[in-house]
Each structure stands twice: as structure tokens, then as C-alpha cells.
Amino acid sequence: MSRYLDEVVHLLVTDENPPREIDGLDHERCAALQNAILKHAWVRSGRDEEAFLEGTVPSIELCGLERPEEELHPSVVEFYRKARTPCGGMPGKDFVNFFYNLRSLASSLGNHGYCFGDDDETITLYDSTSQFTKPDGLVHSAIMHLDIQDELDVDGPWQYLESILSVWIEMIQRQKVAAISNEVGSERYEQHEQGWLVFHGPDRDPLTGLQRLTHDAEPWTIVPWTAKDLEEALEGWDSAVEAIEETMQLDDAETADGLLDAACLDAAKIPDGFAREFLTKARRPRFDFIAPGLRVPSPEDFTRQPFTDVSRPPV
């Protein structure tokens, strides 16, 4: 999936490899995980791997604090010294956002008195990308040495930074979130003798085949569903069907794969996507009703979709 992420697999938080109980932030582990995510995004965006060290700097050089050693816990200072961040570019396609909802490392102190009152001892470690309405980003507590994202709440759920970074890497590995070429879905304007011409980038990423569904967070895009999601859904369906058939003491007659065929799905105007893949691959049960009032669809029933003519937004 990614050489840079593979190199830090041994640092991911798991049941067998939990966060360490130490005084402060586990700066070496967290910096290694964060740098792996950033380098993955850097290369997948179309940038040169060899330019990574030149195009990024230790975050402490851009933190904006005059005396970070006096204002921050020593472990946070060490994290900023080890964690790298892009040193140029404005938010947009020319900037490497750290993640789909986070722009880059930050270091603003406090600013969360509305949640913590006079006891506000927080640091904004990462600020949000422009498309997200909550500007808090990822917040670190200098007292608990734990982190929280999205909805700030004194009572949690606060987590270790290495746990959060591990979840993000797992999301990338499962392709729930993907870094793709900045050229995907782009528009480039050039002036020629006949006037300004627009050149469109490819619709899909040449490496992953993915489309860009979100903007202002380049190179990241959210992926609606993955092959692994489909596989797990089909396994869950098979288990449920087999359990019902066993309870009904049905015979072991041959079964057919596919709840509905392509012609039926075309008639119902089901577009390419998770629903179409699932309906063509899930095996048809040897019974008619899944539960009281819930029937296994027949082609005749399914083609009578009440919302067939409702326009869909472009994907």
C-alpha cells in the first residue's frame, strides 16, 4: 500500500502494542507516525520523494513561539523538533495538507476557554482544513497529555496522539481516505494566441483509480466505500442468510450468486457503486422473507423504484 506507512507498522497502537505510560507525549513514536503520513501524502500528490526534506522543515521552526521551551512541556517541544511540516505554499492544490480534515501542524496556546474556562492548558497541534466548520483541529491537553478532535469536551473522549495517528494510518491502509495526484480533477489555464485555454486534469488517479470527491484538502479525498467494505458486507450477508436457512432447516440445494442481474439494475437506474456491486454479488437466499414485512427483492419489485427520476448530484 505505502512504503512509508509500512515502515512504521511496528509503531502502530494495537492491543499487543498499546501506548506507553510515560510523563508527557511519546514524541519519538508520534513524530515517526506523523512524518510517515506526511511523506505518503507528499509522494502520492505527485511530488518528488527526494524533495521531501527540502520542502519540509521541523515544525518547531514555524511554530511562532518565541520561547517554546518555556511555554511547552519538554515532550511537546521534542515532538515539534522531530515532526516535519511543509515550509511553503498556500492552502489549495499547491499545499500538502496533512490529512483530509487537518491542514498542518500548529502551536497556538489556549483559545479554548469556552470549554475549559480558566483552566485552559491546551495546545492546537493541528489546525483544520478550510472545508470543515469546526476550527479547533486536533487539541492537546498539556495537563493530561492526551488529545481530542472535533467536539471539545472536558470529559472526553481524550486519546493518546499515537492512537489517533494509528487510526488515521489504518484509514489510509483501508483506503477510506486516500492521497491522490493533485492533477486529478484540476483545471489549468494557459494564455495562447487564441486566448485563454483551460486544460483539465484526469478524472481518476492513475495509481489508485480513485476520483477526487472533496476539494480544498489536496492531496486527500474521502473514499465512499472500499473493496474491503464490500467483502465484509458480503461475508455478513452470507452469515445471516446461512443462519436463517439453518434455522428453517432448508436443504442444501444449489444457490445462485446475485440478488439481481445487471438488466434489472439498469432498469432501476442503479449507478456504479457499492449498492450495485453488493446486489450483483450477494447470493440469493432460499427463502422469501428476511423478517416480518421484509422480503428478499424480486426483479419485478426492485424495478419499481419510487425515486428513479430524482436527479442525483454529480459524483
Residue 314 has pLDDT above 70, yes or no: no
Q: What is the pLDDT of residue 27?
A: 96
Looking at every residue in the chain, the average pLDDT score rounds to 85
Q: Which single residue is written with the C-alpha cell 498542518?
A: 104
For the segment 203-248, what is each residue's pLDDT rounded down to a tens digit?
999 998 898 887 788 999 999 898 889 999 999 999 999 999 999 8
**What percent of the chain is modeled with pLDDT above 90?**
44
Phi, psi of 82 (to 5 degrees): -95, -35
Q: What is the DSSP string of 248-264?
A: TT-------B-SS-HHH
Over residues 36-56, the mean pLDDT reads: 95
For residue 226, what is its C-alpha cell? 472500499
Least-confidence region, from 71-80, 152-161, 192-201: 152-161
For residue 16, what is its C-alpha cell? 499487543
More confident position, 292 or 119: 292
For the segment 247-260, what is each residue's pLDDT rounded down to a tens digit?
988 877 677 778 99
Q: What is the pLDDT of residue 106?
A: 87
Residue 48 has pLDDT above 90, yes or no: yes
Q: What is the pLDDT of residue 214?
A: 75
* pLDDT tier at 135, thresholds 50, 70, 90: low
CA distance 128 to 104: 8
Q: What is the pLDDT of residue 176?
A: 92
More confident position, 218 or 111: 218
Residue 299 has pLDDT above 70, yes or no: yes
Over residues 46-74, the mean pLDDT reads: 89
- List own/partner pairs for 150-155 with CB under 8 A and 24 or more apart: 152/112, 152/115, 153/115, 154/115, 154/116
Tally of CB atoms within 10 A around 251: 6
Q: Which single residue is written with the C-alpha cell 519540509?
A: 56
Tally of CB atoms within 10 A around 103: 22
* pLDDT tier at 116, thresholds 50, 70, 90: low
Q: What is the pLDDT of residue 91?
A: 55
User: b/e string for 194-228 if b means 16 or more Cβ within 10 A?
Assistant: eeeeeeebeeebeebebbbebeebbbbbebeeeee
Residue 265 has pLDDT above 80, yes or no: yes
Least-confidence region, from 33-42, 173-182, 200-209, 246-255: 246-255
CA distance 202 to 312: 22
Question: 294-295 and 289-291: which strand pairing?
Answer: antiparallel
Q: What is the pLDDT of residue 312?
A: 63
Task: Name the H helices within the chain.
Answer: 3-6, 27-44, 52-55, 68-71, 74-82, 113-116, 161-173, 227-247, 262-267, 274-281, 299-302
For the segment 88-106, what is each residue's pLDDT rounded down to a tens digit?
655 555 789 999 989 999 8
For helices 274-281 and 227-247, the axis angle rounded to 10 degrees is: 40
What is the dihedral sign for C-alpha 143, 149, 155, 160? negative
CB 126 within 8 A of CB 106: yes
